[in-house]
Structure 1
């Protein structure tokens, strides 16, 4: 089978050690491949610089020097560099292979992350960058594409809080720093994350990476970058002219500490930012601690049985300072709370006239007066008790029911409709991660929290989940990939894998995928089956070159190699029985008894001679020459044709000789 693989490096072995098994990604400066280190029997990532960059001598030299420096930078959140070299004049790096996704892929899938997830990822990012800063290195291109998120150690790939984060492309940092602009005068940085000083002066230090990390945090929280524009330079200068907005202006309801982190990291004046990634890391860890306590307290409150909203989505509850949370009660002498400490309206009648001070004896009041005051005291006490009961009942009603209202019905509405209707009712809306649905159209609300008609505090936030439509996944491009990698990629999409019959291939190494059924790009539902056809390598028999051979010789040659001849005759100006074409082509691999189709010439097409007798000799000569024949005249060329050879009506090949005998 003749299958063409687009990337010619796939299947090759670099320096006799690194066998390339598939392409992972292609960037602006290099292409990353998955490879097998056949000496140590481990999977690695191999990054090869593009030919356009290899012509820049300064870039290549700095890249090589930097690779040696990064190889000595050992940190669990830095993609390790194992080796470096050149292949066909192109510098390459051999790096740790991280099984997972880039932060860019995660954001493309989820749009934005929760505050806890965003800080967990940023924590590990800054730890990696801080290690580089301590070694005197500046990354200069901190962005989601250079952040790899590996599967969580617990096995839950969706749990980003426990995932392992690694920062890549430190190897390009100093190489880029060799010049602030490239050969075309363009700024060599990603404009969405570029620090103002890099735009203005081209100079970068540790605070430049802090700025970019702050923009990455902004994007994780809001699902977008701060600035956009028609041209890259327009976006770059917005970083110079404007302060990055706080994320809560785009994603309402975020804790204030996150606004503060983004503002601190993205100050236009580098001197107002944290001094390096380590300093920013300390601020992020403090924020994570505070955010974690708040979420833990909220979770505990939501588990209280009977509490309105218990079991609803988590809401961040602000902490209360000690003076406001607890009333201080002065101690009572003697350890007992005496009746005299009660307010006058709470004392029993017999306690009303008691006093700890001595008093003079007086005459008892008249019986009628005593009864009047006693009755009045009881009426007042009853009224006060009733009032207190009303206060308690009213407070209880407000805490348990009065401040709550019913959650509006947002299900099946479009995003715009849901947001508009919720605001009309006095609520904010938070858009959560999408969810596949077979019944709710894509982009419409498939669930909400709290649910419709549930209790909710007036003015609170409703979390809605939008439908992603029916769950379908396009079959990925797997040609040139190893079986293990192809199976893992399909199973991650919840597609079943079937291994088809392996076939020979002249271009694909043995064991790699050469085709899929259905083809790449076909959308399938989870549970659908994808058949993988693997290469058996090149077939054992090489088809010889038979063009130009006589058909009899061609048959003999094929038989000697265990191949069969299949013939078809075609019109040709080549001599009859000459092989003028073949399929498969020469050099193709073939199995025993494979048929090789040979195109065999019939010989030149023949022409029928006209009868020229009794015509003037010179006129007959002109007619024959016009038809492509050669003419031989005998006796008298000025006479009349009396004989011709071959005679008229005879089929002859083009360019044949025709004799004309002319006399009076």
Structure 2
């Protein structure tokens, strides 16, 4: 039976209230578990500091716990819809823990691992909610100190989690945790922030304020827009010092076509001089809202250049790509995206034109009054009729043609055929397809044979190929959490028969079929097997006992022996091995496999009759037979027992009679 070593905390009860159900994640400072608050009957998240983060010697632990408790109280007072709420705190096994709101969703790190980078409107939507949470903390005098994608949770939408992240709810976690741990360090200035997002002043001076969080938030925005962090290196210290020595590059240098306003926003947030950054997350939030409002204007052909209120007029930005951002009024109310003040519409006054020109009208009537005037009117009517007919034909029929059939062609073939027909090509969001290989056209708009303007644009949808992904490992998780993880991947979950397990508590997943790591596709049927806890009967120790004793012992416990015999130098019928091993838990009626000794292999007795007695005795002893000599030890052997060629166990005594 395959087993997996379980986390010792799984199934345990903390503070007589929180039952640990499953492990969600393990980070550098703490491990996060899901737990059931048995007092309020709700699911919560429990974060427990790693033993390696607790200070040594134990005499310093009390001070560490006190600082951690004070920090937890400060965080608990921070109430905001974009902040993961803290419900309780305490210690377990000498290690501090926090009880927090359980957010059903993924971390921003998980989203970026799947998507690599985000669209500008999605990146801004997540950034604004993240900054809104940080702004609330800064107003309360709290600095996060470790802003990174791992600490940003993207919660599922009430509608089931739309693909567009603009409608997702963002929550920031771990406020003050880095500070509480850092304060316990011996030297007092150990760098706890993640080096990919660390602000220069933390590297050079070890100090942090609200502008430190602003810098880290700017790096997170950079990564969402480009799919990478600005610096890398062989050692963490090399990465950290690049923040000190270099300016963060503009995102558009890595992703051409990004609006200049986004470049300016990242540049303002990531200035190396803290004094040149926005004063706190609230100030950066206001600038982000300006960018979003500018990108969302339907007639926008350029992006706004961010400036401080005290700065002078800014030059008009150069034209760039238009990005449509979702406006606040279009978002669901539960998205909690911070609102911007409603923009004042720019109204134009219609210029009045004089129409009461009596003299001009009189002259016109005079010119059209005669016969030539009537002919002129007829000619004008005919000309206008022809023009209208031609215009109607052009706008209704003439400028249109039919779209070619591009579905099922490869990307290269489709581009070539569209170019020959004079059409432009654009690409929509690709999708998985079970039948079409990667980069095969699986959809087009307009459809084939539909009307399209000559020289117009055809939008193609390319195949990503069959969707396959490794089945996640849910062993050790609470059944409900495991089912949620699997259903999020669009897998069909079936609960298999529960089985006893010596290591995993009742209700925890002990295995799946297919096994974890198997490549599966959406809709795959996954059978989840849940632990029934330890079996009620312990297998006794049977090795070295006689088979008859083993049978009797197993029979008393209601277990069934299954015997297999094999050659051995051990005595006949002695138990050589057993499965399950002694101490394993089994249920009544279970089989216990026993390996039983057949005894040593038989040996052949040689012929010694007619040999001199001393020679016969020497030959038998050389082959391991004890010899019993009768009558004349110096005579000739006249009989032997066992007889010649008899098969006997090793060490059997041979009697010879000498006369």
Fold shared per TM-score above 0.5: yes
The corresponding residue for 2:72 is 70
Query: What is the alpha-carbon distance in structure 1 between the residues aligned to residue 416 and residue 255 of structure 2?
Result: 16
Query: What is the alpha-carbon distance in structure 1 between the residues aligned to residue 465 and residue 108 of structure 2?
Result: 24
Query: What is the alpha-carbon distance in structure 2 between the residues aligned to residue 616 and residue 92 of structure 1?
Result: 90
Using the TM superposition, name which of 89-98 and 558-567 deviates more. 89-98
Query: What is the alpha-carbon distance in structure 1 between the residues aligned to residue 17 and residue 131 of structure 2?
Result: 34
The corresponding residue for 1:137 is 142
Closer/same/farther in 2, CA of residues 626 and 227 from structure 1, 3 Å limit: same
The corresponding residue for 1:492 is 488
Q: Which runs of 5+ in 2 are unaligned?
A: 302-321, 327-342
Q: Which residue of 490, 494, 507 maps to 1:511?
A: 507
Query: What is the alpha-carbon distance in structure 2 between the residues aligned to residue 510 and residue 350 of structure 1?
Result: 102
The corresponding residue for 1:225 is 229
Note the C-alpha offset of 1:149: 0.8
Contact 2:12/2:20 (CA < 8 Å) preserved in 1?
Answer: yes
Query: What is the alpha-carbon distance in structure 1 between the residues aligned to residue 600 and residue 407 of structure 2?
Result: 79
The corresponding residue for 1:246 is 250
The corresponding residue for 2:538 is 542
Query: What is the alpha-carbon distance in structure 1 between the residues aligned to residue 477 and residue 86 of structure 2?
Result: 23
Closer/same/farther in 2, CA of residues 406 and 618 from structure 1, 3 Å limit: farther
Q: Deviations over 1:76-121 (max 9, x none)?
A: 3222333445555555433321101111222233333333322221
Query: What is the alpha-carbon distance in structure 2 between the residues aligned to residue 180 and residue 455 of structure 1?
Result: 69
Query: What is the alpha-carbon distance in structure 1 between the residues aligned to residue 581 and residue 589 of structure 2?
Result: 16
The corresponding residue for 1:40 is 40
**TM-score, normalised to structure 1's length?**
0.74
Aligned pairs for 1:150-549 within 5 A = 150-175=155-180, 177-178=182-183, 188-229=192-233, 231-292=235-296, 294=298, 326=348, 329=351, 337-339=355-357, 347-348=360-361, 350=363, 433-443=429-439, 466-549=462-545
Note the C-alpha offset of 1:166: 1.1
Query: What is the alpha-carbon distance in structure 1 between the residues aligned to residue 402 and residue 246 of structure 2?
Result: 39
Query: What is the alpha-carbon distance in structure 2 between the residues aligned to residue 598 and residue 645 of structure 1?
Result: 36
Q: Secondary structure at the match of 2:214?
A: helix
Q: Alpha carbon RMSD of aligned pairs, Å?
A: 5.0
Closer/same/farther in 2, CA of residues 601 and 408 from structure 1, 3 Å limit: same
**TM-score, normalised to structure 2's length?**
0.74
Query: What is the alpha-carbon distance in structure 2 between the residues aligned to residue 433 and residue 150 of structure 1?
Result: 23
Query: What is the alpha-carbon distance in structure 2 between the residues aligned to residue 524 and residue 603 of structure 1?
Result: 51
Q: Deviations over 1:488-515 (max 9, x none)?
A: 2232222222222233333333333322
The corresponding residue for 2:132 is 127
The corresponding residue for 2:339 is none
Contact 2:6/2:504 (CA < 8 Å) preserved in 1?
Answer: no
Query: What is the alpha-carbon distance in structure 2 between the residues aligned to residue 39 and residue 628 of structure 1?
Result: 76
Q: Secondary structure at the match of 2:534?
A: coil
Closer/same/farther in 2, CA of residues 433 and 111 from structure 1, 3 Å limit: farther
Aligned residues between the structures: 602
The corresponding residue for 2:98 is 93
Query: What is the alpha-carbon distance in structure 2 between the residues aligned to residue 36 and residue 109 of structure 1?
Result: 30
Q: Secondary structure at the match of 2:263?
A: helix
Note the C-alpha offset of 1:477: 1.9
Closer/same/farther in 2, CA of residues 440 and 610 from structure 1, 3 Å limit: closer
Q: Deviations over 1:358-388 (max 9, x none)?
A: xxxxxxxxxxxx99xx99xx9xx99xx99xx
Q: Does 1:603 align with 2:599?
A: yes
Note the C-alpha offset of 1:197: 2.7
The corresponding residue for 2:305 is none
